Chain A
Amino acid sequence: MAVNTMPERPLLNREHAQFLLREMLRIRRFEEKSAEMYSLQKIHGFLHLYIGEEAVGVGAMQAFTPDDAIVATYREHGHALARGLPATVLMAEMFGKATGCSHGHGGSMHFFDASRRFYGGYAIVGGGLPIAVGLALADKLQNRQAITACYFGDGAVAEGEFHESLNLAALWKLPVLFLCENNLYAMGTALARHQAQTNISLKTGGYGVASNAVDGMDVLAVETATKLAADSVRSGNGPFLLEFRTYRFRAHSMSDPDLYRTKEEIEEWKKRDPISLFQIRLREWGMLTESDLARVEAEVSAEIEEAVRFAEVSPWEPAENLLNDVQGRATP
């Protein structure tokens, strides 16, 4: 499965190693708490958890600067946390509170943060790709050095916009990094049941777009591959596509009975849990002690508890404001 071969012990310092672990744990614990809050009916609507895919969100985000633009999907809690959106405003958003990152207008699938160039979660599969192409065009036309990172899943590969966007970005040599999170299922339809060619990284050849397939359960492989690809995009070589081979351990959403895959398959993938695997490696390399782990877990736990407390005590947006933010001030 792993296409990239990583050195046994990469050039990695202890501080960065523990940072990556901590970031993945933040997402894992945030998602577990979100599921709990959904069960308690604090969170409603659709809730798509990122559990199992943390290495992709965290590893890839290390390649981007604050000037870069991020376009995400409806399974974007991991991207948002890794981008630096505070857990407090994300939890408040899912509670529907006025303090949420989208003022309670978006919910779980539509996190936004202008200050971090986080251009949102898109809930129409493939719908974010043209937006990313346009953001990159704007950067290029204004001679900014930024690149645009565009996350999407394997399901999006079946959409026309995937093909149109690869073509247009390549044709205009735009600085877009396409990040395909291949978790093997488009909701409940397995990749092999919706794609004639299941090697997604091979699909870019027809558009002249460089690509690479990466073990999405290995945060270091993800980080290294994304930095290389981002460097290529930054150098003006046009778009690049990375296919991260990963797996979601939870159902597609909270309302999915998960009848389309076997328990054995899920258990097999859980053996490659990105967080457990990374912990084992760090211990082997002498970069993580039991007390380090306990401290990180405690800090993460406190952060998530604070997020829930913040969401609980935050006010609701007054219903009188219902029609605000539909249009700007009309010009005379």
Chain B
Amino acid sequence: MTYREAVRAALRKALQSDPRVFLMGEDVGRYGGAFAVSHGLLEEFGPERIRDTPLSESTFLGAGIGAALGGMRPIVEIMTVNFSLLAMDQILNNAATLRHMSGGQFHIPLVVRMATGGGRQMAAQHSNSLEGWYAHIPGIKVLTPATVSDAYGMLLAAIRDPDPVFLFEHATLYPLEGELDEAAEPADITRAAVVRSGKDVTLITYGGTLGKTMQAADHLAKQGIEAEVIDLRSLRPLDNPTIMNSVAKTHRAVVVGEAWRTGSFAAEVSAQIMECAFDDLDAPVARVCSAEVPMPYAKHLEQAALPKVEEITSAAQGTISRHG
């Protein structure tokens, strides 16, 4: 099963099991979803529950908040993270605040899914990685499913959550193949996962860069370096214990993410390690991020801007060679 099919399977399961659940967004119905995630759902569930919207991101996101306040379990698809900027006011000022601002009287069980990331030659307005901006906001949860099973299980968990949950689906992952047990329970969305064990260096990543990081770990293994790889899975809440336990073992960390380096989520992880595990470190925390440039169109330029496997390998080697 592909990642795309896993998201669709979770949507179908939620729509079947809970009459309060509905999906809305641009071209989710008749078109079948810009990334074909919701293909076939209109036919199966009808236009009341699979709702095509006008190109009014702020209003259909806000309507999702209102519908959640009114007792529904809306799932809003925003075609790409870049378009979510048009809804940022509703996200920050309403979705994230209403529980607190109302003294706990209201809560917003809203799920927002969006495609994110570069690597498909979509140029500067369709390739951003802004999950770190969202992870900055208290009051929402930020998930970055990187595997087929998480694409399914994290979405199911998000739908059950009492608060707004944002899922960032890296667009290059949709064709990814993997195993899925559709009888599986909703995933634990509070924990990071150690996806490869090692003792020499911890590679920390999430979402679209998990694949490259795993490749880097393979390369390192051939050089006799045993890298541990952590898939953060959730950026807010952040599972600090899993990170710190690993760093306590390896004494070295490289954080990998596709966002720009300055102010990135990788910077946050690095700061957390500094605060919580400074004495465990044998080398400064290293980061591998995208170049600080609007994403170029031409393939060779785009690839030059994105994090590369060799950069991850080299950063890991750097943390080790520093102290022999």
Contact = CB atoms under 8 A, between A and B. Distances in A.
A binds B: yes
Interface in A139-171: 139, 141-142, 160-161, 164-165, 167-168, 171
Interface string A104-139: 111000101110000110111001011111111111
A103 interface: yes
Given A130-B65, A134-B65, A102 B101 contact: yes
Contact of A119 (B69, B71, B104, B162): B69
Interface in B40-65: 48, 51, 53-54, 56, 58-65
B94 A131 contact: yes
Contacts, number: 157
Contact of A329 (B58, B106, B141, B162): B162
A302 interface: no
Contacts of B53: 168
A324 B190 CA distance: 18
B70 A138 contact: yes
Contacts of A160: 56, 58
Contact of A132 (B61, B66, B68, B98): B66
A316 to B, nearest CB: 13
A90 to B, nearest CB: 13
A326 B138 contact: yes
Contacts of A168: 53-54, 56, 59-60, 63
Nearest to B189: A331
Interface string B84-106: 00000110011000111111111
B32 interface: no
A10 interface: no
A134 B67 contact: yes
B62 A112 contact: no
B139 A326 contact: yes
Contacts of A332: 188, 190
B63 A130 contact: yes
Interface residues of B, number: 49
A165 B59 CA distance: 6
B98 to A, nearest CB: 7
Interface string A232-248: 00000000000000000
A284 interface: no
Nearest to B161: A331
B99 A133 contact: no
Given A102-B101, A102-B103, A105-B103, A134 B139 contact: no
A139 B74 CA distance: 13
Contact of A327 (B64, B102, B139, B157): B139
Nearest to B236: A327
Contacts of A329: 162
A141 B50 CA distance: 12
B107 interface: yes
Given A127-B89, A165-B59, A171-B54, A134 B103 contact: no
Interface of B: 22, 48, 51, 53-54, 56, 58-72, 74, 89-90, 93-94, 98-107, 138-139, 141, 157, 160-163, 186, 188-190, 237
